[in-house]
Amino acid sequence: ILKSEIELLKEQLRGKKINFDEKIQIGIMVETPSAAINAHHLAKEVDFFSIGTNDLTQYTLAVDRGNELIAHIYNPMSPSVLNLIKRVIDASHSEGKWTGMCGEFAGDKSAACLLLGMGLDEFSMSAIAIPKIKGIIRKTKFSEAKKLAEEVL
């Protein structure tokens, strides 16, 4: 459905002689457990996924990260969250698509090797985190990162 809607919009732009990138990639933010669970269906409709880990973690664990009484429960390393992330990555790769990640978790040095081993294609993070994560990724052998991911999952 999404692809046909996008094509209809492109036709309208062409009809109005409005220039646009014909090869523009259309992606989806995965921020809810529902979207992650249905990633294998969504992957047929989009060019890429971007996993929003802050919201995905909050909604998966039913924890308001802004509530100081329960914020300590908020943990993107939770098996539930990690399995949803892996599900999204696998769904995108099975359709020849790519997956990126935004949110604090993408710039977390303790998660970099794990996410790499899970097959994450793109890390989006604050500029201050880039050198640290880049250094970790450069020193990591993919085979070791993949083994780590298999053990954790």
pLDDT in tens, 113-143: 999 999 999 999 999 999 999 999 999 999 9
* pLDDT for the residue numbered 90: 98
Residue 34: burial class (beta carbons within 10 Å; 0-12, 13-18, 19+): exposed
* pLDDT for the residue numbered 1: 65
Residue 15 lies in a domain: no
Does the model's pTM come out above 0.85? yes
CATH of residue 117? 3.20.20.60
For residue 132, give its domain range: 23-152
As a whole-number percent, the residues of the chain with pLDDT over 90 amount to: 88
Residue 7 lies in a domain: no
Residue 13 lies in a domain: no
Residue 18 lies in a domain: no
Residue 100 lies in a domain: yes
Question: How many distinct structural domains can be found in the chain?
Answer: 1
**79 vs 39: CA distance, rounded Å:** 18
pLDDT > 70? residue 109: yes
Residue 16 lies in a domain: no
Amino acid at 38: N
* pLDDT for the residue numbered 103: 83
Mean pLDDT across 78-92: 98
Residue 8 lies in a domain: no
Q: Specify whether the CB–CB gap between 140 and 113 falls below 8 A.
A: yes
